[in-house]
Every structure is written in structure tokens, then in C-alpha cells.
């Protein structure tokens, strides 16, 4: 997001943040991460639910219905940060040569249909530590949730 805004500023002399919100300086990646880490991922769920409700009411989901009226959801695990030192309570970890690497991970999904170029995003599901310390979640369990 920040890279896109920076390129827009270089190419056009302004970016969306300036035009829409009047924000003249862009935060750093670290600044955005620090702000976002304060928000529980579950807080975003109503936004996605509202989006899908509006899409259904507008008839957009009808074009994605397959088989017996269901939808296909493509899933992919994403990491968006990894560090040997920086981590939060939601981070998973892997250990190699006695050195842990911490990373937050999520299972991202989109509603898809064969032959359709557009996709509809659904709320990502965090892959998390189940007990806060030892047992880690996995993609399969996150997909079931």
C-alpha cells in the first residue's frame, strides 16, 4: 500500500492519501505495523460480512454460484513479517539452529469461479498459537474455522 502511494506521488505529484484525506506525509512500514498490531483481527470481520451481504443483495454473488448453489473459496497462507526479535502475542514461530523466527500468519480467502477474472475477498483467518506458547495452529484448522 505504501509503495503504491509513494509511486503515485512520484508519477503524479500527489497520492490518494493527500487527495482524499489531506494527509501530506506517509507513515513508515513500521509505523503502520505498530498501529495495526493494536487492532484485534476479529474487529475487521463485520466489514467483510457487510461487503458480502451487499454483494448478495445486489445480485453479485449469483454469478459465482456453482454446483448446488455454493461458492468456491480459494485459500492461501500469507506471512507479512518475520523477525528473530520482533514479535507479538499472535505470532507463530519456527526454530532453526536454536534461533526462533517469529511471524504472524493468516489464511486468506477469495470467492472464485472458473472462467471469471474477478474475485471477491473474504475475511482472513489468523493462524495462531492455540495455547499461547507451545501448540501452534495450522492452515487446515484455520480453514475449518
pTM of the model: 0.63
End-to-end CA distance of the chain: 28
Query: How do 120-127 and 92-96 pair as beta strands?
Result: unpaired
Print pLDDT tens along the chain (145 aa).
777 888 888 898 888 878 888 877 777 777 877 787 788 878 888 999 999 999 999 998 998 998 888 899 999 988 877 888 887 777 788 888 888 888 888 889 999 998 888 899 998 888 876 655 566 677 777 787 7
Q: Let me know: does 63 contact 116? Beta carbons within 8 Å.
A: yes
The answer for residues whose C-beta is within 8 angstroms of residue 144's C-beta and 6 or more apart is none
Half-sphere exposure of 6 (CA within 13 A, CB side): 7
pLDDT given at position 74: 92
Amino acid at each position: 500500500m505504501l509503495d503504491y502511494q509513494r509511486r503515485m506521488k512520484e508519477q503524479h505529484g500527489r497520492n490518494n492519501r493527500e487527495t482524499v484525506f489531506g494527509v501530506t506525509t506517509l507513515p513508515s512500514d513500521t509505523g503502520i505495523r505498530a498501529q495495526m498490531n493494536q487492532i484485534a483481527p476479529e474487529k475487521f470481520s463485520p466489514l467483510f460480512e457487510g461487503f458480502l451481504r451487499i454483494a448478495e443483495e445486489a445480485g453479485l454473488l449469483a454469478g459465482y454460484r456453482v454446483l448446488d448453489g455454493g461458492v468456491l473459496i480459494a485459500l492461501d497462507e500469507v506471512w507479512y513479517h518475520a523477525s528473530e526479535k520482533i514479535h507479538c502475542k499472535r505470532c507463530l514461530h519456527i526454530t532453526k539452529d536454536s534461533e526462533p523466527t517469529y511471524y504472524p500468519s493468516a489464511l486468506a480467502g477469495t470467492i472464485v469461479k472458473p472462467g471469471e477474472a474477478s474475485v471477491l475477498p473474504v475475511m482472513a483467518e489468523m493462524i495462531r498459537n492455540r495455547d499461547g506458547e507451545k501448540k501452534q495452529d495450522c492452515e487446515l484448522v484455520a480453514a475449518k474455522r
